[in-house]
A and B are shown apart, each in its own frame.
Chain A
Amino acid sequence: MRRSEILRGRLILLAIWAVLIGAPYWMPAIGGYTALGTRVLVLGLAAMSLNFLLGFTGVLSFGHAAYFGLGAYGAGLTLKLLAASTPLALLLGTLLGGIAGALLGALIVRRRGVYFAMVTIAFGQVFYFIAFRWNALTGGDDGLRGFARQPLHLGPVTIDILNNAEAFYYFVLACFAVVTAVMAFLLRSPFGHTLLAIRENERRARFLGIPVERHIWLAFTLSCFFISLAGALYAMLNNFADPRGLHYALSGDLVIMAVMGGMRSFWGPLLGAVVFVVLQDYLSSITTNWQSFIGLLFVLVVMFFPRGLLGFLQRRKAAA
């Protein structure tokens, strides 16, 4: 890669982090609020987790909300029933979704294409109905209530992420930074390269001696761990978890974010989440038909920028 490209990449990275770190300060100036920024981060992380599988392994899961929702319920139930600890809730929520993903993934990875997507939806809906029906534990359709994220105790310092929206934003941003760093690190490793190989040409990958199913399973499992961490953060953002967090409609929203933002680029799904969440927030206060507008935008993006918004921007710069 040429030196100018590397420099440009670093500048873009710097700009992204500057925007994210400064968000609580510049957002109110353009009519935003901190909790909206937190929501963007959480759903952006979820879309990036999904895209680890979709964009970098070439496998489409249409049931990833299941693991997002399991992370949310895992965190909520930990806070409600086990212990008033934010780190523990985060850990147990992530483990619940991640382990479920690892077990089900083993059954799913032999399927390909549409069949893979269908099986992921089916398993996802199983969890949706469990959460919907198991009133005693999950609160059923009303959702899981009666828990709240807890202040962080770091030795002598206590950070009140419960009442201070900015503090919680930075807590979520720290989690976001760790997970995206792990993703970027993995994608640059030999293991990450095998995932690209599988995306590009599964048959050839097999002939290099890569056990394709095992590697897809690993990518699926990792992606489930990442997204269930996002789900756990989501439950703590709202102090609430409900079955819609498991529903395939949310899986579809995440796919829309990834594709709209650009699934071949690392940061694309985050941009998709920004557009999706901000539009949703703005439009839903004007009309109940907000989904039609997002749908229309999605169609336009797919028709005119098949590589997504970020893919389009990168292409244009590369051509210039």
Chain B
Amino acid sequence: MSLLDIRRVSKNFGSLVAVRDVSMTVESGELRAVIGPNGAGKTTFFNLISGLFRPSAGSIAFDGEDVTGVPAHRRVARGMARTFQITEIFPEISVLENVRISAEVAAGYRLRPWLGRRAAAEIRQRVEKILGLTGLVAKADRLVGELSHGDQRAAEIAMALALRPRLLLLDEPTAGMGDQETYEIAALIRRLHRDNKYTIVLIEHDMRVVFNLADRITVLDQGRLLAEGPPAAIAQNPAVQAAYLGEAA
């Protein structure tokens, strides 16, 4: 059984069809990239997966359960965590506090007026582990709002990881970054996938990032599924080349 099973979803905004009849399945442990030229419907498709939008037609199952009508904040509790294209963080508190809030909420402690010693120690360990994983240990006490763009994005990924996701959804993780930052975030994503076995679906505009990272690639064009396959096959696919050349021209 696939971890994520999307069957023939569509999304209309009035008469505009942003996503039309797209199916996609993601296996546990997979790193899947969704790409496409501008206006291909990537972001809409992503919002359907994370639950921000409800599909006009079709169904979405997560871990064998139908989640089509489950709103985004409830999908979090089921193990889907997402990051945002425009970095959404808690700017005026420290990196550590950002991650800790996530970890506490994920552990079901959001209404606790106090924590026992053992629970507090578990949260601390979990936060330290995630800070280590995302390379933020040295910046743990800095305010997130004062970090570089790349570190802010890493902090957001850290917050998502603290939610103990079984599926990590990354919305254009390298958007607006320079080469060095892009390289660092790509390395982080690769670590999470290879070393820590996270299942990841990411939307990306930067083709270089995608071809080096993904196990499989899904290509959307004008709201439709254009192609799907391993990076080598996608790179050779004439329809994909045409779609991207069309954009470049």
Which of B72, B106, B112 is in CB contact (< 8 Å) with A189? Answer: B112
B89-124: CB near A (< 8 Å → 1, else 0) gives 111110001001110111001111111000000000
The reply to whether B92 and A208 form a contact with Cβ atoms under 8 Å apart is no
Q: How far does the Cβ of A81 sit from chain B's closest Cβ, in whole Å?
A: 35
Q: Chain B residues near A141 (CB, 8 Å)?
A: none
List chain B residues, Cβ under 8 A from A193.
97, 100-101, 104
Is A204 touching B112 in the complex (CB atoms < 8 A)?
no
- B90 neighbours in A (Cβ, 8 Å): 196-197, 200-201, 204
Confirm or deny: B77 has a beta carbon within 8 angstroms of a beta carbon on chain A: yes
Please, which residue of chain B has its CB at the minimum distance from the CB of A5? B141
Q: Count contacts on B: residues with CB < 8 A to the other chain.
A: 30
A49 to B134, CA, bound (A): 38
Residue B48 CB within 8 A of the other chain: no
* In the complex, chain B residues whose CB is within 8 Å of the CB of A209: 73-74, 76-77, 105-106, 110, 163
Using CB atoms, name the residue of chain B closest to A197.
Answer: B101
Bound: A140/B73 CA distance, A: 49
Q: How far is the CA of A158 from the CA of B112 in the complex (A)?
A: 38
A185: chain B residues within 8 A (beta carbon): 113-114
Q: Chain B nearest CB: distance from A263 CB in Å?
A: 12
Query: How would residues 171 to 213 of chain A score, 1 for a CB under 8 Å from any chain B CB and 0 otherwise?
Result: 0000000000000011001110110110011011011111100
Contacts of A18 in B (CB 8 A): none
With beta carbons under 8 angstroms apart, the residue of A2, A191, A203, A208 that contacts B159 is A208
In the complex the two chains form, what is the Cα distance from A44 to B114 in whole Å? 25
B104 touches A190 (CB 8 A): yes
In the assembled complex, the Cα of A232 lies from the Cα of B32 at a distance in Å of: 61
**When chains A and B are docked, how far (Å) is the Cα of A196 from the Cα of B92?**
9
Cβ B101 vs Cβ A208 within 8 A: yes
Q: Is B82 an interface residue (CB 8 A)?
A: yes
Chain B positions near chain A (C-beta within 8 angstroms): 72-74, 76-77, 82, 84, 88-93, 97, 100-102, 104-106, 109-115, 141, 159, 163
Contact across chains for A207 and B102 when beta carbons are under 8 A apart:
no
**Cβ of B111: which chain A residues have Cβ within 8 Å of it?**
190-191, 218
29 A-B pairs (CB sep. < 8 Å): A185-B113, A185-B114, A189-B112, A190-B104, A190-B105, A190-B109, A190-B110, A191-B113, A193-B104, A194-B101, A194-B105, A196-B93, A196-B97, A196-B101, A200-B93, A201-B90, A204-B84, A204-B88, A204-B89, A206-B73, A207-B73, A207-B76, A207-B82, A208-B105, A208-B163, A209-B74, A209-B106, A211-B73, A215-B110
CA distance A105 to B242 in the complex (A): 58
Interchain CB contact under 8 A, B110 and A210: yes
Name the residue on B nearest A1 (C-beta): B141
Which residues of B are found within 8 Å of A203, using beta-carbon distances?
A: 88
- Pair B88/A210 contact, Cβ less than 8 Å: no
Question: Which residues from B are CB-within-8-Å of A200?
Answer: 89-93
CB distance from A126 to the nearest CB of B (A): 31
Docked CA distance A165–B95 (Å): 48
Give the residues in chain A near B92, CB-CB below 8 Å: 200, 264
Residues of chain A within 8 A (CB-CB) of B115 are 189-190
Query: What residue in chain A is nearest B141 (Cβ atoms)?
Result: A1
Question: In whole Å, how far is B110's beta carbon from the nearest beta carbon of chain A?
Answer: 5
- Given contacts A1-B141, A207-B72, A208-B102, 18 further A-B pairs with CB under 8 A are A190-B109, A190-B112, A190-B115, A191-B111, A191-B113, A194-B104, A194-B105, A200-B90, A200-B91, A201-B89, A201-B90, A201-B91, A204-B84, A207-B82, A207-B88, A209-B74, A209-B110, A215-B110
